[in-house]
Each structure stands twice: as C-alpha cells, then as structure tokens.
Amino acid sequence: METQIIELEKRYWQGMENHDYETVKKLTLFPCMIAGKTGLQSVDESMFKKMFESVDSGKIKVLNISDVEEKLITENTTIIGYLIELEIADDKENSPMKCVCTSTWVKKDNNWVCALHTETELYQQ
C-alpha cells in the first residue's frame, strides 16, 4: 500500500511541476482541504482551478521526497507524511525550500484521491 500512495503523491507533485491540471484534478477529491502558511481552506473544483492557474508553469521543481511514513486507517482511507525539498523559480533566496507534508487519501469509485493536504515550511538552520 505505501508504495502505491507515495507514487500517487509523486504523480501529484509531477502534475504541479508540469502544470498539468488534468492529472492533479483526477487525484483530488473535491471539495478538498488545504492547510499551509496562508491558513486552512476548503476548496471546490472551480476555486482549485483558479488557484492552480494562478501559479506560473515551471515555477515549482521537486528536488527530493524522503522520510515517508504512512498509516492505513481503513481499507478506504490512508494518511501519509513526508519531507519534500522544492525549488521555487521566483524565490529571492534561490535556495531550496524544505517542507513537511501530510495528505489524507480516500478510495472513491475504486480510485485513490487526496482529500486533505498540508504543508509546513521548515526553518532553514
């Protein structure tokens, strides 16, 4: 199970990196919840598309995903957490950003989709 969910997370990030809305949409359960440094939002599909389109293509580059932990809650719900290292094209510091991420995946119509995603930027030391 863990291999399957981390591969879905990687496909999701690859969709973000390649600015591939259709891939990201297929992997998302709407309305989804997103939590990060701007707060918590419940996001429907039209709002998600606007947010997605507001990010320039090629802006995000995934450098590494590590320290993966997953816990199967039920046969249709799993949670995953991991450390991700990203490069942001317009970052003034031009240094990679490290975040810890968590996602909740649910099985709907025999497909896994992400219902909740959180990102917490880690302090640079």
* pLDDT score of 105: 98
- Number of structural domains (the chain) is 1
Residue recorded with tokens 């989709």: 113
Of 2, 38, 3, 4, which is closest to residue 119 (Cα–Cα)?
Answer: 38
Cα angle, residue 118 at apex, residues 100 and 93 outer, rounded to 5°? 55
Question: Are 99 and 83 contacting, i.e. CB atoms less than 8 angstroms apart?
Answer: yes
- CATH number, domain of 42, equals 3.10.450.50
- Residue 73 burial (10 A CB sphere; 0-12, 13-18, 19+): exposed
User: What are the pLDDT digits (tens) for 42-86?
Assistant: 999 999 999 888 876 558 889 999 999 999 999 999 999 999 999
Q: Please report the pLDDT score of residue 118 as a whole number.
A: 97
**What mean pLDDT comes out for the span 15-36?**
95
Q: Which residues pair with 114 in a beta bridge?
A: 28, 105
Residue 107 structural domain = 4-121
- Three-state SS at 21: helix
Calculate mean pLDDT across residues 17-36.
Answer: 95
Q: Is pLDDT of 39 > 70?
A: yes
